[in-house]
Amino acid sequence: MSQAKTIHLHDYTAPSHHIVHTDLTFEIFDEHTLVINRMQVRRMDKESGAMTLHGEGLTLLCVKVDDVKAEGQFECDAEQMVLQCDKDEFVLQVVTKIYPDENTTLEGLYRSGTILCTQNEPEGFRHITYFIDRPDNMSTFTTTIIAETSRYPILLGNGNLVETETYAEGRHMAKWEDPFAKPSYLFALVAGDLGVVSDTFTTMSNREIALNIYVDRGNENKCDHAMRSLKNAMKWDEEVYGREYDLDIYNIVAVDSFNMGAMENKGLNIFNSHYVLADEDSATDQNFMGIESVIAHEYFHNWTGNRITCRDWFQLTLKEGLTVFRDQSFSADMNDASVQRISDVKALRERQFVEDAGPTAHPIKPKSYVEINNFYTATIYEKGAEVIRMLHTFLGEEKYRKAMDLYFETFDAKAVRTEDFLWAMDQQGGFDLERFSRWYAQERTPTLKVHEHYDGVKNEYTLTLQQVIPANVKGEKQLPYYFPLAFTLLDRDGVALQWNLADKRQTLLDKGMLIVQEEEEKFTFTEVTTEPKLSINNNFSAPFKIEHDQADYGFLMQFASDGFIRYEATQKAAMNAIDMFVENGEIDTRYLVNFAAILEDESIGLEAKAFMLELPTLSVLMQEQKEIDIAPISKALNLLKHALATRYKDTMLTIYQQFHKPENSALDAQSMGERAIKNAVLSYLMVLEDEDINALCVVQYENSVTMTDRIVALDLLENYAPDLAQDRLVHFYARYKENTLVMNKYLSVLSASEREGTIDRVQALQNDPVYDVKVPNLVRALIGVFARNAVAFHAPTGHGYAFLAEKVIELDALNPQIASGLTTAFRSYDRLNPNNKALMKDALEMIMNEKEISSNVLELVQKILDV
């Protein structure tokens, strides 16, 4: 077994040399690509007689220093080149040969269908040429691309197009120049035969920017939404952050084979086609929302990530946490803010809380890593965004904006650390920097225990808060947090009470929030004339788990003014009801009654209401179990759903009829809300296995014009009326088999299915002509979704585990990043019941015993098995 090495933050040293300018020429041939790389190098450390460059899997043809062959001056191993050179300034030329058609890892230069494209974050560039491939080496780049005109009519690079030429023998050239210095991870190149949709955006200083979205020919009619989202994002960043776009051109290219969602390369974003292409017939409402947020996210990186970048990869949350916060704020402004908040917190709990509770927990700023690709995690991203959100709360909009202005002013064109960001925030005051910094250094989700006491004689209400801070992965004690806590005290009718706090230092007065900082803290409110009902952590003001034994969820479901808290209360109440059933087999009738407070309340926005009606997922319920055992919670969940559907059948049918509008495909909030709510009630009703309801579902599949409606119907039929599903699955397949994005949905419906035999069908689908193990979206749709299907994956036979282990091994040989993504499904190992644990151990050992396993997968498996 190989032992990969660990990289530590405290070992950071600045590079000895700086590549000031990089002039690249790519000559694309059918079998290989020639890369001529001329670097203007400056020696930074005058003591250093050697320059180290990264390079992996390259065929080296030539090295020259100041145009003289550097014979005997350099040595290469599998990972780097060391060049002996005493000059302070020199031109280093390196010529390499690479084979993009054979590159299945999808990092560096690779082929997606007919397109050649790049993915260089975090360390892909070293697969293209020798370079100081680290983000603190910021260089300007020019890119010359030469290729066959008929096969590659479109040639794109970063920055502005400065020259084109037609050559003999059917070849042509394009030269691109990017005036902004950037790290190599932001370098991009695209060559292919592509269709394009173009538009313009006029900036706040009246510059006209050319916007282009390049897609496979035939898909040009699916770019409207992406283009609209881009223009909205550009406008929003001007209005909210005062940030204007800096180049004259903004290109986006959609490719089918992509490891991630999208990449913010300077002036040339490369996107998974999943986050670009959409029309009503092929994309769901959720897909449309996803496109809006990912387009915005990559655009926002231009300032938070590209202009100001990371000194090293330990700083990843500097750009990702901040940019997620920015894209969440944008989406909240474009749509219903409370719905956006509910959906962001839901994602945080389902992904980040799970990670934080397991063997791969890490701080948003890790101190060490083995494989940097494994650290693009929900923690760095989603928890990172929550940390920025807390700063935003402490500072308030105005001071936050000033602090951001200072950040941009001070660090533009630099590669910086999270401390630099916090320094800018701290210049505005308003929070305790030292204590707040613990959010960057500590891991695991804290719990806040809430205890209330009301003294009706003194009219005094006390709130006792206790922070339960878990030890870190190594078992070391961690310190309490400093955070803003939003709350309201309500009277019996849900009206907010005015309050008066004895000790004013404990509040953010103007925001009506508490500042919490001690392990245990008491807040005493005076002149409280009636015993209040408490609504706490409103809008999820801090990323804590709340334990509030005296909470009245029935009351909050009905009266909380904060949409998020109303959602929260429905989730907590459902979880309690599920607990009760698991413990003593009884259905919580109070919960059934309280459910009406949501279902029958016509004042709630439809989308928010659909979220509130959802029951907690198995993934969330599993987290609450001391020892994971799927069968009892899955059974309880189904019975509760059945009880609700039985009790509220008529109301649900009425809601369904009221909002089912099969002809409507509009994307406004009302139309999307109508689809969400009637699909939410349909998903209850289908549990009843009632013929008339099944018929409604079939009609919805057949008559609705939107993919949202069709895929929901197909999924419900698959799970609750499999006999009726059969024909519709055949029909769906026939209708969409040419559209790979829709085929992802087809595969996902089948691999998420909770009925018997899913694993066999998933295995068989690997041989289906639409499936291709080299396309990550398809792997995620079939295998990834299966690994998140708790019922099938955790089957007591252990077949789910063995199957996934086999797939991890197979994929690891092709694409280690995708393989390690699948491996995360094993993270529940330590908390499984003994039967499942033993079976999962076998599967994990099967992976460990493979001779050629990547550091990506190995790092995870070792952490999971704690070896």
Among 23, 280, 292, 298, which residue interacts with ligand BES (rule: CB under 6 A)? 298
Of 243, 266, 269, which is closest to residue 138 (Cα–Cα)? 266
The distance from CA 853 to its chain's CA centroid, rounded to whole angstroms, is: 26
- Please give the biggest Cα pair distance in the chain: 96
State the DSSP string of 435-468. HHTHHHH--S--EEEEEEEEETTTTEEEEEEEEE
Q: Write down the least CB distance from residue 28 to ligand BES, Å.
A: 23
Segment interacting with Zn ion (CB under 5 A) among 320-328, 363-371, 388-396, 551-559: 320-328
Specify whether the CB–CB gap between 582 and 626 falls below 8 A: no
Active site residue 452: no
The residue assigned the tokens 């920025």 is 388
Please work out the total of residues on this chain that contact ligand BES, with binding judged by CB under 6 A: 17
537 binding partner (options ligand BES, Zn ion, none; Cβ < 5 to 8 Å by kind): none
Query: 801 is written with which tokens?
Result: 């585990």
**Of 117 and 262, which CB lies nearer to ligand BES in the complex structure?**
262
Segment interacting with ligand BES (CB under 6 A) among 63-71, 259-267, 454-462, 666-674: 259-267
Per the residue annotation, which of 107, 280, 292, 298 is the catalytic one?
298
Specify whether the CB–CB gap between 104 and 94 falls below 8 A: no
The three-state secondary structure class of 178 is: strand
Q: Is 308 among the residues that bind ligand BES (CB under 6 A)?
A: no
Q: Is 344 among the residues that bind ligand BES (CB under 6 A)?
A: no
Q: Write down the least CB distance from residue 387 to Zn ion, Å.
A: 15
Q: Give the number of other Cβ atoms within 10 Å of residue 100's Cβ.
A: 21
Q: Write down the least CB distance from residue 701 to ligand BES, Å.
A: 30
Segment interacting with Zn ion (CB under 5 A) among 70-78, 317-325, 510-518, 669-677: 317-325
Segment interacting with ligand BES (CB under 6 A) among 254-262, 496-504, 569-577, 652-660: 254-262
The rounded distance, in Å, linking the Cα atoms of 749 and 743 is: 10
The identity of residue 226, as a single letter, is A
Q: Is 260 among the residues that bind ligand BES (CB under 6 A)?
A: yes
Site for ligand BES in 149-178 (CB under 6 A): none
**Of 297 and 383, which CB lies nearer to ligand BES in the complex structure?**
297
The rounded distance, in Å, linking the Cα atoms of 558 and 561 is: 9
336 binding partner (options ligand BES, Zn ion, none; Cβ < 5 to 8 Å by kind): none
Segment interacting with ligand BES (CB under 6 A) among 85-93, 293-301, 389-397, 673-681: 293-301
Q: Write down the least CB distance from residue 418 to Zn ion, Å.
A: 15
Q: Write down the least CB distance from residue 324 to Zn ion, Å.
A: 7
Q: Is 262 among the residues that bind ligand BES (CB under 6 A)?
A: yes
The rounded distance, in Å, linking the Cα atoms of 110 and 188 is: 11
Buried b (16+ CB within 10 A) or exposed e, 673-703: bbbbbbbbbbbbbbbbeeeebbebbbebbee
The rounded distance, in Å, linking the Cα atoms of 460 and 400 is: 35
Q: Which residue is nearest to ligand BES (CB)?
A: 261
Among 136, 178, 256, 320, which residue interacts with ligand BES (rule: CB under 6 A)? 320
Q: Is 123 among the residues that bind ligand BES (CB under 6 A)?
A: no
Query: 758 is written with which tokens?
Result: 């899913």
| Region at 430 (left for phi over 0; alpha for psi -120 to 50; beta for the rest) | left
Among 225, 243, 297, 533, which residue interacts with ligand BES (rule: CB under 6 A)? 297
The rounded distance, in Å, linking the Cα atoms of 301 and 322 is: 9
The three-state secondary structure class of 64 is: strand
Q: Is 253 among the residues that bind ligand BES (CB under 6 A)?
A: no
Specify whether the CB–CB gap between 713 and 701 falls below 8 A: yes
Among 136, 216, 264, 859, which residue interacts with ligand BES (rule: CB under 6 A)? 264
**Of 106 and 615, which CB lies nearer to Zn ion in the complex structure?**
106
Query: 510 is written with which tokens?
Result: 């103007």
* Spatial strand order in the sheet of 195-202: 195-202, 208-215, 249-255, 268-272, 262-263
Interaction site with Zn ion (CB under 5 A): 320, 323
Binding residues vs ligand BES (CB under 6 A): 121-122, 260-264, 293-294, 297-298, 301, 320, 324, 327, 376, 381
Q: List the catalytic residues.
A: 298
